[in-house]
Amino acid sequence: NKTVLDLNIQDRFTSLPNMGKVQAEYVWLGGNKELRCKTRTLSAAPASVEDLPVWNYDGSSTGQAPGDDSEVLLKPCAIFNDPFRGAPHILVMCSCHLPDVDAPQGLGAPIPTNTRT
């Protein structure tokens, strides 16, 4: 039994009114260089990457932090139009950082697996 995507159903959901909200898909590389992502709903489209909030995730689930101190911060670096959800939604490419309460935006050093390859 195969599950087939009915494009009519997809079209129905992607054409629903978004009430001015924007889905921002934060994307980063996991501990094994696999793509990771999570979605944040914004009240409006950002004018620039600097307008996007820093976000966090549990680095122990991606092999990027120990379980006892596992917060990793996502720093937005670039914005692209989302080709899957369409306008006004966006893809947000991120770098991964250790938290540092004394640093600007709480962003410490990049984590060791924070690479582009």
pLDDT in tens, 27-56: 999 888 889 999 999 999 999 999 999 999
Residue 94 lies in a domain: yes
* β strands within 45-101, DSSP E: 55-58, 71-81, 90-99
What token pair was written down for 113?
């697996």
Residue 43 lies in a domain: yes
Residue 2 lies in a domain: no
pLDDT, tens digit (0-9, with 9 covering 90-100), for 65-99: 666 778 889 999 999 999 988 889 999 999 999 99
What token pair was written down for 71?
């917060």
Residues 3-29 have a mean pLDDT of 85
What token pair was written down for 94?
């991120």
As a residue count, the chain comes to 117
Residues 54-67 have a mean pLDDT of 77
Total domain count, the chain: 1
Residue 115 lies in a domain: no
Residue 38 lies in a domain: yes
d(CA 114, CA 28): 9
Q: Is the pLDDT of residue 117 over 60?
A: no
d(CA 73, CA 24): 16
Residue 89: domain span: 7-110
**CATH number, domain containing residue 12:** 3.10.20.70
Residue labelled with tokens 């959901």? 13
**What does the pLDDT read at residue 22?**
96
Burial call 58-94: b when 16+ CB within 10 Å, e when fewer: ebbebebbeeeeeebbbbbeebeebeebeeebbbbbb
Residue 106 lies in a domain: yes
DSSP element (H, E) containing 27: strand 22-29
**What does the pLDDT read at residue 78?**
97
How far is residue 26 CA from its own chain's centroid? 1
